[in-house]
């Protein structure tokens, strides 16, 4: 969008669709005094709620509610903001929005794009990019842990840590580049600046931030878990036991599950997207089962973790064991957790993995804890920030550049120019998180996912 369009006054309904006790129509722009005058025939006291009639163009009363004018720069967007708080009927709010747009026609007031209010807050330095994303994450949070982590990010805790890390990289960049500019001083930069030690400390700090970001991304996006195994080993029973509901049909007939059955469950606030798949076997009973088995392998390929379910009652059967070995070979490279089912009907196995009975419910808590462990979950995630895949990617690239910087630092002053470049790239990758280094396409992707009134 052009810079001129970003200066347009905008308006939208800022509350969720549907009926409610209160609904809000919000407007933002460089100067909303003419809009306030057109709507109410008077100015409003700054940042004070004023009870007024909201009228149509012909003077008829649409509703009575509160009007609040937030003069720039003391507002959410950093511009003038006007909020009209009315009763939350969908038709009423649309009538009120139409009236606001009509009254603001003279100043070019238009309907806001998705996320445009928060985009303006970012562009006007009210929040950084990580905080802007935290706004959407707080709205979308489906668990208490996710909401608390999003609130920490919105409060600036994540951004503050990123800025601190960036500052430490900048200090090293300054020293390296100063040495490059004044080579005649013949200063042994690496010794005097303790470059190795400082780089190592920064790498450790970035690594710790990356671990928390990965957990924050897990809180936001969840973990994809696929239940796999031969027919009739208890996959559907396991899904039902984890979900606490009869989601999948369970029968003694092989091949009952023909397609993927998915359910999202929560363990300690962590969303797990669990998928039950068709039983894996070489010869399908018919074309439908063959397609189902193909989809099973597709789901396995995209899984974060695979629960390979084994039937304890069929151990020692030659045909069963041969099929197990074949599936295990195809699962190589995946994050596999072996689950030995039907412990209520057979002696527990001594193999690695989890022993349980999906039917009796024994061992399920052990399985839940193992899934959390593999996800890198902490029992008390107080230091976790809500994070996104792009944050994790940026931190990984930062760490990679710092590793290369260490290698160049080991060559002492002979590779100072390469060291300086890797530090610059590390700084740039880190800056992408808060928006100091970003592209217009990235901003469009981020804010386009917001709701209209935000």
Residue, of 109 and 445, whose pLDDT is higher: 109
pLDDT of residue 249: 42
Residue 51 has pLDDT above 90, yes or no: yes
**Adjacent-strand bridge partners of 85:** 24, 66
Alpha-carbon dihedral angle through residues 39, 44, 49, 51, given to the nearest 10 degrees: -50
83 is in an annotated binding site: yes
Residue 117 has pLDDT above 90, yes or no: yes
386: closest CA among 218, 206, 181, 172? 218
Residue 256 has pLDDT above 50, yes or no: no
The pLDDT-based confidence of 126 (bands split at 50, 70, 90) is very high
233 is in an annotated binding site: yes
Residue 143 has pLDDT above 90, yes or no: no
Contact predicate 57/102, CB 8 Å: yes
Residue 367 has pLDDT above 70, yes or no: yes
Distance (Å, rounded) from C-alpha 246 to C-alpha 253?
17
Residue 340 has pLDDT above 80, yes or no: yes
Residue 186 has pLDDT above 50, yes or no: no
pLDDT of residue 85: 97
Average pLDDT, the chain: 83
Residue 280 has pLDDT above 60, yes or no: yes
Q: How far is CA 39 from the centre of its chain?
A: 40
Distance (Å, rounded) from C-alpha 427 to C-alpha 172?
10
- Comparing 162-176, 239-253, 305-319, 371-385, which segment has the lowest mean pLDDT? 239-253
pLDDT of residue 258: 44
Percent of the chain with pLDDT over 90: 41
159: closest CA among 446, 439, 431? 431
- Comparing 129-138, 156-165, 310-319, 341-350, which segment has the lowest mean pLDDT? 341-350
The pLDDT-based confidence of 156 (bands split at 50, 70, 90) is confident
**Euclidean distance between the first and the last CA atom of the chain, given in angstroms as a whole number:** 17
Residue 154 has pLDDT above 70, yes or no: yes
Angle at 308 between CA 304 and CA 314, to 5 degrees: 175
Distance (Å, rounded) from C-alpha 175 to C-alpha 186?
14
Tokens 């070489």 belong to which residue?
A: 282
212 is in an annotated binding site: no
pLDDT of residue 349: 66
252 is in an annotated binding site: yes
304 is in an annotated binding site: no
Token pair recorded at residue 43: 């100015």
235 is in an annotated binding site: yes
Of 83-92, 242-251, 286-295, give the range with the top mean pLDDT.
Answer: 83-92
192 is in an annotated binding site: no
253 is in an annotated binding site: yes
Residue 450 has pLDDT above 70, yes or no: no
The stretch 38-47 carries a mean pLDDT of 96
Of 87-101, 125-139, 170-184, 197-211, give the range with the top mean pLDDT.
Answer: 87-101
254 is in an annotated binding site: yes
Domains along the sequence of the chain with CATH: 5-127 (3.30.1360.120), 140-218+384-447 (1.20.120.430), 228-374 (3.40.50.300)
344 is in an annotated binding site: yes
Distance (Å, rounded) from C-alpha 183 to C-alpha 406?
21
276 is in an annotated binding site: yes
The stretch 12-25 carries a mean pLDDT of 91
Contact predicate 400/172, CB 8 Å: no
341 is in an annotated binding site: yes
73 is in an annotated binding site: no
- Asked if residue 103 has a cis previous peptide bond (ω within 30° of 0), the answer is no
106 is in an annotated binding site: no
DSSP code of residue 327:
H
255 is in an annotated binding site: yes
Residue 439 has pLDDT above 70, yes or no: no
pLDDT of residue 250: 42
403: closest CA among 212, 210, 204, 165? 204
359 is in an annotated binding site: no
The two beta strands, 61-70 and 80-88, are: antiparallel
Of 184-188, 208-212, 260-264, 307-311, give the range with the top mean pLDDT.
Answer: 307-311
């Amino acid at each position: 969008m052009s810079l001129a369009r970003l200066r347009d006054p905008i308006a939208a309904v800022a509350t969720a669709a549907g009926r409610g006790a209160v609904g809000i129509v919000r407007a933002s722009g460089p100067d909303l005094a003419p809009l306030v005058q057109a709507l109410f025939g008077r100015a409003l006291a700054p940042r004070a709620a004023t009870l007024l009639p909201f009228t149509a163009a012909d003077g008829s009363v649409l509703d009575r509610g509160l009007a609040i004018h937030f003069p720039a720069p003391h507002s959410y967007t950093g511009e003038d903001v006007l909020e009209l708080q009315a009763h939350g009927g969908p038709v009423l709010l649309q009538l009120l929005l139409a009236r606001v747009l009509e009254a603001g026609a003279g100043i070019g007031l238009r309907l806001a794009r998705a996320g445009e209010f928060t985009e303006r807050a970012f562009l006007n330095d009210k929040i950084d990019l990580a905080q802007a994303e935290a706004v959407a994450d707080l709205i979308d949070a489906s668990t208490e842990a996710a909401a608390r982590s999003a609130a920490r990010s919105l409060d600036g805790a994540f951004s503050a840590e990123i800025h601190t890390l960036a500052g430490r990289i900048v200090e090293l960049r300054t020293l390296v580049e100063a040495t490059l500019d004044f080579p005649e001083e013949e200063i042994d930069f690496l010794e005097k600046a303790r470059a190795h030690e400082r780089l190592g400390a920064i790498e450790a700090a970035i690594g710790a931030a990356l671990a928390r970001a990965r957990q924050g991304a897990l809180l936001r996006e969840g973990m994809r878990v696929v239940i796999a195994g031969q027919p009739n080993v208890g996959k559907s029973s396991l899904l039902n036991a984890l979900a606490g509901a009869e989601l999948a049909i369970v029968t003694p007939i092989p091949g009952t599950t023909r397609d993927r059955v998915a359910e999202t469950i929560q363990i300690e606030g962590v969303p797990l997207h669990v998928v039950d798949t068709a039983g894996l076997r070489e010869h399908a009973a018919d074309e439908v089962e063959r397609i189902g088995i193909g989809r099973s392998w597709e789901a396995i390929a995209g899984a974060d973790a695979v629960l390979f379910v084994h039937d304890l009652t069929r151990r020692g059967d030659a045909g069963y064991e041969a099929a197990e070995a074949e599936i295990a070979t195809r699962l190589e490279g995946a994050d596999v957790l072996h689950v030995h089912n039907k412990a209520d009907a057979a002696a527990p196995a001594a193999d690695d993995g989890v022993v349980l009975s999906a039917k009796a419910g024994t061992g399920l808590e052990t399985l839940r804890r193992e899934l959390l462990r593999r996800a890198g979950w902490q029992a008390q995630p107080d230091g976790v920030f809500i994070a996104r895949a792009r944050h994790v990617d940026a931190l990984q690239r930062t760490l990679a550049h710092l590793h290369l910087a260490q290698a160049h630092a080991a060559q002492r002053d002979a590779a100072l120019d390469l060291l300086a470049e890797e530090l610059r790239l590390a700084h740039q990758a880190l800056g992408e998180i808060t928006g100091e280094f970003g592209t217009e396409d990235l901003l469009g992707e981020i804010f386009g996912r917001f709701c209209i009134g935000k």
